[in-house]
């Protein structure tokens, strides 16, 4: 029942529905694109009793240590970095900062579901741009839009990536608006737009520690952009919650940045398992979109996506299904460990038989 206290402007708001985080029954969890690997040993050992005791004090609202590490890694100034409570926090702040009256927000019809939710929450005008027939983004659909543009690269839930050249054309044709490139999954094979930062003041790159750095539970993301964009984001952040990232998360993030070799090896392994899983699904007659992410988006003619999702769930395997036009016959499967994928494939085989 809707609270009579909820303001009328929010009565039609459809909140984001996150993927299930099951309690109780133990599932093979392939539904929210987490890493099958634990955080690095450095991360696992960084939360000492001493660090815990420091929680008496508020965290550094500037996240200085973390930003300096990130800046060094990305070869930019720390003034070009803002850290958030997951990349969702960054996206929220960016939608508030860079769109509003007379500045709509543009994004694909099939993409990360939160873009629409933020747009509706802030009552922004939306320009929803259909993916092409083959589920690709056509960059030319985003030229000269007079809008904030939000594009996930690779896109979710398709996994398909744009080239840097295509992103650069979007930046060039929208010089007076922010182009937000959400790189949640970029480590798994797409080209990052970070090298374009030096030439485009309107580029905001959004990244997360949730996927390739195995830290979904810590809630850590960041934005990299020109100093004016980061100043704008910080103005919003300091107007809502300057302590948006806990001491513990900041510590874990710093440790994660000292563990590159560990994470690079994990990403390589996930990509290898992804390609093997794709081949196995294709051998069973599935169509699998070309993924540059840590998930596969797949369907089989004559096989309902929702049914496949439910049958797999009954068998203890959680994948994601979206009841949305054009993609309701697909399931999205996070690439898990080799063992997880073996069990997933065995069960898919017996379900379709």
Q: Distance between CA 181 and CA 149 in Å, rounded?
A: 8
Which is nearer to ligand PMP, 88 or 340 (by Cβ)?
88
Structure-block tokens of residue 74: 């990305």
**Footprint of ligand PMP on 191-230 (CB under 6 A):** 208, 210, 216, 221
- As given in the structure block, the two tokens for residue 266 are 């994990």
CB-nearer residue toward ligand PMP: 223 or 303: 223
| Under 8 Å between Cβ of 43 and 256 | yes
Q: How far is the CB of 121 from ligand PMP (least distance, A)?
A: 16
> Which among 82, 96, 66 has a CA at the least distance from the CA of 240?
96
Residues 25-54 as x/- pattern, contact with ligand PMP by CB under 6 A: ------------------------------
Residues in contact with ligand PMP, shown as a per-residue x/- string from 152 to 181 under the rule CB under 6 A: x---x-------------------------
Closest CB to ligand PMP among residues 91, 303: 91
Specify the DSSP class assigned to residue 32: S
Q: 182 vs 254, which CB is nearer to ligand PMP?
A: 182
Q: Is 184 in the site for ligand PMP (CB under 6 A)?
A: yes
265 Cα distance to chain centroid: 20
Determine the distance from the C-alpha atom of residue 171 to the mean position of all C-alpha atoms in its chain, rounded to a whole number.
21
Build a one-symbol-per-residue string for 79-98: x at contacts with ligand PMP by CB under 6 A, - elsewhere.
Answer: -------xxx----------
Burial of 290 (0-12, 13-18, 19+ CB in 10 A): middle
Orientation of helix 86-98 relative to helix 114-121, angle to 10°: 40
Report the SS3 class of residue 29: strand
Using CB under 6 A, pick the residue from 182, 254, 329, 340 that binds ligand PMP: 182
> Is residue 327 close enough to count as binding ligand PMP by CB under 6 A?
no
Dig out the tokens for 247 from the structure. 């001491």
Q: How many helices (H) and strands (E) would you count in the chain?
A: 11, 12
Residues 98-157 contacting ligand PMP, CB under 6 A: 112, 152, 156
DSSP E strands, 163-301: 179-182, 203-208, 221-225, 287-288, 295-299
Judged by CB, which is closer to ligand PMP: 293, or 347? 293
**Size of site (CB under 6 A) for ligand PMP:** 12
Of the candidates 186, 346, 210, the residue with the CA atom closest to the CA atom of residue 277: 346
Cβ closest to ligand PMP, residue 193 vs residue 303: 193
Q: Which is nearer to ligand PMP, 104 or 157 (CB)?
A: 157
Shortest Å, Cβ 350 to ligand PMP: 30
Q: How far apart are CA 120 and CA 206, in angstroms?
A: 21
Which of residues 156 and 205 has its CB atom nearest to ligand PMP in the complex?
Answer: 156
Nearest distance, CB of residue 203 and ligand PMP, angstroms? 17
Q: To the nearest whole angstrom, how small is the minimum distance from the Cβ of residue 220 to ligand PMP?
A: 7
Nearest residue to ligand PMP by CB is 86
Nearer to ligand PMP, 94 or 317 (CB): 94
Closest approach, Cβ 221 to ligand PMP, in A, equals 4
CB of 302 to ligand PMP, least distance (A): 29
Least Cβ distance, residue 118 to ligand PMP (angstroms)? 11
Judged by the rule CB under 6 A, the positions of this chain that interact with ligand PMP are 86-88, 112, 152, 156, 182, 184, 208, 210, 216, 221
């Amino acid at each position: 029942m809707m609270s009579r206290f909820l303001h009328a402007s929010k009565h039609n708001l459809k909140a984001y529905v996150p993927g299930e985080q099951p309690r109780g029954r133990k599932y093979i969890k392939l539904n929210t694109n987490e890493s099958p690997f634990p955080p690095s040993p450095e991360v696992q050992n960084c939360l000492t009793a001493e660090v815990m005791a420091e929680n008496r004090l508020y965290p550094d609202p500037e996240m200085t240590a973390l930003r300096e590490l990130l800046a060094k890694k990305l070869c930019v100034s720390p003034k070009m970095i803002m850290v958030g409570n997951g990349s969702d926090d960054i996206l929220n702040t960016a939608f508030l900062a860079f769109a509003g009256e007379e500045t709509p927000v543009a994004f694909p019809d099939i993409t990360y579901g939160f873009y629409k939710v933020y747009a509706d929450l802030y009552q922004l005008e939306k320009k929803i741009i259909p993916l092409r027939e083959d589920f690709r983004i056509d960059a030319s659909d985003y030229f000269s839009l007079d809008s904030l543009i939000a594009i996930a690269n690779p896109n979710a839930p398709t996994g398909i990536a744009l080239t840097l050249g295509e992103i650069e054309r979007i930046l060039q044709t929208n010089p007076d608006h922010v182009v937000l490139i959400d790189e949640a999954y970029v480590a798994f094979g797409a080209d990052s737009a970070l090298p374009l930062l030096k030439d485009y003041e309107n580029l905001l790159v959004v990244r997360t520690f949730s996927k390739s750095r195995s830290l979904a539970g810590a809630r850590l993301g960041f934005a990299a952009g020109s100093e004016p964009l980061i100043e704008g984001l910080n103005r919003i952040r300091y107007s809502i919650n300057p302590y948006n990232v806990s001491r513990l998360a900041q510590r874990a993030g710093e440790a994660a940045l000292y563990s590159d070799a560990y994470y690079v090896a994990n990403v390589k392994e996930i990509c290898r398992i992804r390609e093997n899983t794709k081949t196995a699904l294709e051998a069973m007659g599935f169509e699998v979109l070309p993924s540059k992410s840590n998930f596969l988006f797949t369907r089989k003619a004559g096989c309902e996506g929702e049914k496949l999702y439910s049958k797999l769930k009954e068998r203890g395997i959680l994948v994601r299904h979206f009841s949305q036009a054009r993609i309701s016959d697909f399931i999205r499967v996070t690439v898990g460990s080799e063992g997880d994928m073996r069990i997933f494939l065995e069960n898919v085989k017996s379900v379709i038989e």
